[in-house]
Amino acid sequence: MSVLAINGGQKTRVKPFPRHPIIGEDEKKQVLEVLDSGNLSTFIASVGEHFLGGKKIREFETKFCKKINAKFGVAFNSATSALHAAVVSVGVKPGQEVIVPPYTFTSTATSSLMHNAIPVFSDVKKDIYCLDPNKLKNVLSDLTKAIVPVHLFGHACDMDEILSIAKKHGLKVVEDCAHALGATYQNKKCGSIGQTGCFSFYPTKIITTGEGGMVTTNNTNFFKKISVLKNQGMNITPEKREKTAQWRYDIIDIGYNYRLDELRSSLGLSQFARINEINKKRIKIARKYDQLLSKIKGILIPIKKKHRNHIYHLYTIKVEKDYYLNRNELFIKLHKNGIGASVQYYPLHLMSYNKKLYKKSDFSNANILKDQIISLPIFPTMTLRQIEYVVSKISE
Ligand SMILES: Cc1ncc(COP(=O)(O)O)c(C=O)c1O
């Protein structure tokens, strides 16, 4: 039995750790139902009445694309695999170039490398940390085929400017929406603006399926190609085989097993109903942080541009020179006080593997951010007391 603090035991703290997803009774019930059904993944063969794995997957895809206002949704086992299939499906060929920000998670770039295409880094903006449209023209070449803007931390990129450059140069736009489920740009949902949108359901994300992802698109050809790549290069969808009782299939392309299963789709469906509520709570917490942190000299709160809905997948502050600790010192201080702060990101152009590969360019903003950015805990069940505790340790 633990010893109470009053009797010399450890003092309890508010401990605002952000990392676990909220798994409720409904999630458990849905997963158990799938286990009982015996249909654990996509349909393989139909025998009498015992068939039709894939119902939950299709339901998840249908609901998801509706939410994003896209025509199609294809479930994946991660955003990394989703990005890979999306880059290939929009027509990028091996050897061609794909522009990505250096200030992001590695999969934004490796998804192109997986196809032997070349990620070319272009610097981010100082204010919203997303791709800087004004710098894009410096990295365009005859080989450029696509741009992957990342709606970083839940705030949409400057999509009008990016789309206009893409149109002018005949480039495709693959939105990396790993942080941006529910984020909007001028009333358009992130994931419905470019040719495809790629989402992540990793446990730290807005909703989770454990591991999982989704591609959204309005283009029938991209949808078909994405579906083939995801499912072993087969020419026939599980639905069609199911409807026409066909056992025969052809392999028409290189393919992968990038499928999401029924268990994880049922988790996604169960969480799906709470997206708006989750995002509302995150925004409310962010407003409280804004109010308290804006009084502290040397701390810069996240910027939110007009006509964009920032959903604060991460609440990221900038530690400026006139704050009395540097970012690393603040990180240590917060952790020593039981506060699970994190740093996103160490820029990709400085990672050992990438240094050998990538073209040198102007990464001045990413280089500044790498030393100044820190993400504070933010999760839907965070209490006012926990927010105040975090802020008190920053202002102390
Ligand atoms: C911006 C960004 N893109 C892509 C991914 C990859 O997501 P996943 O872990 O689902 O493959 C992540 C993961 O955190 C991410 O932050």
Mean pLDDT, 10 residues at a time, over the chain (396 residues)?
Answer: 44 56 89 91 57 81 98 98 98 98 98 97 97 96 98 98 98 98 98 98 95 98 96 82 78 95 96 94 98 97 97 97 95 94 94 83 93 95 94 95
Q: How many CB atoms lie within 10 A of CB 245?
A: 8
CB 84 within 8 A of CB 64: no
Q: Which CATH architecture has domain 26-272?
A: 3-Layer(aba) Sandwich (3.40)
Among 202, 208, 346, say which to mutate for ligand 1: greatest number of ligand atoms within 8 Å of CB: 202
Residue nearest to atom 7 of ligand 1 (CA): 79
What's the whole-model pTM score? 0.94
pLDDT of residue 183: 98
Q: How many CB atoms lie within 10 A of CB 224?
A: 15
Positive or negative torsion for Cα 206, 209, 213, 215:
negative
pLDDT of residue 3: 47
Closest CA to 184 of 309, 34, 33: 309
CB 183 within 8 A of CB 312: no
pLDDT of residue 52: 52
Give the ligand 1 atom nearest the CA of 202: 10
CB 101 within 8 A of CB 119: no
Among 19, 103, 107, say which to mutate for ligand 1: greatest number of ligand atoms within 8 Å of CB: 107
Instruction: Reply yes or no: is the peptide bond before residue 345 cis, omega within 30 of 0.
Output: yes
pLDDT of residue 42: 81
Interval between CA 201 and ligand 1 midpoint (Å): 9
Which amino acid does the sequence have at 27?
Answer: E
Residue nearest to atom 8 of ligand 1 (CA): 79
CATH class as words, domain 275-395? alpha beta
Interval between CA 45 and ligand 1 midpoint (Å): 33
Interval 153-205: pLDDT, tens: 999 999 999 999 999 999 999 999 999 999 999 999 999 999 999 999 999 99
Domain with CATH 3.40.640.10 in the chain: 26-272
Token pair in block for residue 318: 């900038």
pLDDT of residue 236: 80
pLDDT of residue 19: 59
Q: How far apart are CA 76 and CA 213, in angstroms?
A: 5
Residue nearest to atom 14 of ligand 1 (CA): 105
Q: How far apart are CA 144 and CA 95, in angstroms?
A: 10
pLDDT of residue 53: 63
Q: How many CB atoms lie within 10 A of CB 214?
A: 27
pLDDT of residue 10: 45
Give the ligand 1 atom nearest the CA of 80: 11
- Which is it for strands 308-309 and 184-185: parallel, antiparallel or unpaired? antiparallel
Pocket of ligand 1 (CB under 6 A): 78-80, 104-105, 107-108, 150, 176, 178-179, 200, 202, 213
CB 25 within 8 A of CB 391: no
Q: Under 8 Å CB-to-CB from 72, ≥6 apart: which residues?
A: 61, 65, 216, 217, 218, 220, 223
Distances (CA, A) of 191 to 133, 175, 207: 18, 6, 15
DSSP 8-state code for residue 262:
H
Interval 315-324: pLDDT, tens: 999 999 999 9
Domain with CATH 3.90.1150.10 in the chain: 275-395
Which amino acid does the sequence have at 163?
Answer: L
